[in-house]
Amino acid sequence: LVRLRSRLSRSQSTLGKGLLTLLSRDRLDDDTWEEIEDTLLTADVGVAATQELVENLRTRVKVLGTRTPDELRALLREELINLIGPDFDRTVRSVKHEEGPAVVLVVGVNGVGKTTTTGKLARVLVADGRRVVLGAADTFRAAAADQLQTWGERVGAHTVRGPEGGDPASVAFDAVKQGITEGVDTVLVDTAGRLHTKTGLMDELGKVKRVVEKHGPVDEVLLVLDATTGQNGLVQARVFAEVVDITGIVLTKLDGTAKGGIVVSVQRELGVPVKLIGLGEGADDLAPFEPGAFVDALLG
Ligand code: GDP
């Protein structure tokens, strides 16, 4: 929690502290509630969620009558956790099944941290005793396959790659085949994220998925979004969701933004849980997303 707190310090000082300071005012008048609303909106919580939170808080504060800072903090904590949704299943489905290894596709626009996330996730799984094969299906960014292979070597996983500019679907297919041959638990496939034309992306990602499914089901499609891009990230999320069924969201670079509220808006946008969060560039900086711990870190 200490580490999470320090990595989320930018969101904590703006969102968490901001809300607590406003709530501790002597009089919670309309202006204060408006400021609370602004604070939430600035942190990218989103309009509908912000209104819902403020309404719930207002009602509960009224009902409560007397209020101590501790009571208010507890109320805020509870409402924030409710907003994030404590009931989502946030496990990354990575357990091998009868037909073969679990297959995880990692998708997202270039630069959001896809390759890094794939590498970090491999590390987490291997540390957990799983055997992993990596597929470098981002054949368009020259350095991506090298980068992924370096991660693979670090964790002792084979990286399947193709010729530069080659067909991503064929690399993905080969990676799963390799995973079956080696009898590993999980195959993680890093995909290309060129978004210049939606149809291009649609064709490519759709094909990757279809081709991989010749071996068996795809267990997870993780959409990686850069938390620092705000509304832009939501636009990307929408485009990807039209192309493939997203099963989980990875929010990266939460260490570099005060807009931690994006967790709420992106989940609402897609109706899919945030499963992992990126908290830095280091190998250990990928964490499972736990609403309680996240809110505790935000509230400092
Ligand atoms: P890709 O093009 O989506 O595969 O992106 P990369 O994995 O190459 O990452 C792009 C940059 O973002 C790299 O410099 C990463 O180190 C950095 N990055 C990835 N995840 C995080 C994170 O959670 N926090 C921070 N601060 N940087 C990150």
Q: Along the chain (300 residues), what's the average pLDDT of each consecutive run of 10 residues? A: 91 95 92 97 95 96 86 95 93 93 95 96 97 94 92 97 90 97 98 73 86 95 95 88 94 95 94 97 95 95
Q: Supply the pLDDT for residue 264.
A: 96
How far does CA 191 lie from the centroid of its chain?
16
Report the separation in Å between the CA atom of 226 and the middle of ligand 1, taken as the mean of its atom positions. 8
Which of 110, 116, 222 best tests ligand 1's pocket when mutated (most atoms within 8 Å of CB)?
116
Cβ proximity of 247 and 93 under 8 Å? yes
Strand 274-278, strand 286-288: pairing: antiparallel
CA distance 222 to 171: 18
Q: Supply the pLDDT for residue 195.
A: 65
Nearest to 191 by CA among 218, 230, 228, 155: 218
Ligand 1 proximity of 79 Cβ (cutoff 6 Å): no
All residues at 6 or more sequence positions from 20 whose CB lies less than 8 Å from its CB, including other chains: 69, 72, 73, 76, 299, 300
The CB-side HSE value for 217 (13 A sphere, CA atoms) comes to 11
Which DSSP symbol is given to 141?
S
The residue type at 227: A
Cβ proximity of 266 and 234 under 8 Å? yes
Ligand 1 proximity of 282 Cβ (cutoff 6 Å): no
Ligand 1 proximity of 247 Cβ (cutoff 6 Å): no
Report the separation in Å between the CA atom of 113 and the middle of ligand 1, taken as the mean of its atom positions. 3
Q: Name which residue sits closest to atom 5 of ligand 1, judged by CA.
A: 113
CA distance 40 to 21: 13
Cβ proximity of 236 and 109 under 8 Å? yes
Q: Supply the pLDDT for residue 197.
A: 66
Ligand 1 proximity of 284 Cβ (cutoff 6 Å): no
Cβ proximity of 223 and 137 under 8 Å? no
Ligand 1 proximity of 253 Cβ (cutoff 6 Å): yes
CA distance 36 to 101: 47
pTM: 0.95
- Is the ipTM reported for this complex over the cut 0.90? yes
Ligand 1 proximity of 226 Cβ (cutoff 6 Å): no
Q: Supply the pLDDT for residue 236.
A: 87
Tell me how far CA of residue 28 lies from CA of 31, 67, 101, in angstroms.
8, 11, 55
Nearest to 205 by CA among 59, 125, 66, 106: 106
Ligand 1 proximity of 110 Cβ (cutoff 6 Å): yes
Report the separation in Å between the CA atom of 1 and the middle of ligand 1, taken as the mean of its atom positions. 22
CA distance 237 to 257: 18
Which burial class, exposed, middle or buried, applies to 221 when counting CB atoms under 10 A from its CB (0-12, 13-18, 19+)? buried
- Ligand 1 atom closest to Cα of residue 116: 7
Ligand 1 proximity of 116 Cβ (cutoff 6 Å): yes
Q: Does an H or E element contain 276, and which?
A: strand 274-278
Nearest to 158 by CA among 125, 194, 184, 192: 184
Q: What is residue 68's three-state secondary structure?
A: coil
Which DSSP symbol is given to 228?
G
How many helices (DSSP H) and strands (DSSP E) are in the chain?
13, 8
Report the separation in Å between the CA atom of 276 and the middle of ligand 1, taken as the mean of its atom positions. 14
CA distance 108 to 88: 22
Report the separation in Å between the CA atom of 281 and the middle of ligand 1, taken as the mean of its atom positions. 6
Ligand 1 proximity of 281 Cβ (cutoff 6 Å): yes
Which of 281, 284, 285, 289 best tests ligand 1's pocket when mutated (most atoms within 8 Å of CB)?
281
Q: Supply the pLDDT for residue 201.
A: 72
Cβ proximity of 293 and 132 under 8 Å? no
CA distance 237 to 222: 11
Q: Supply the pLDDT for residue 199.
A: 72
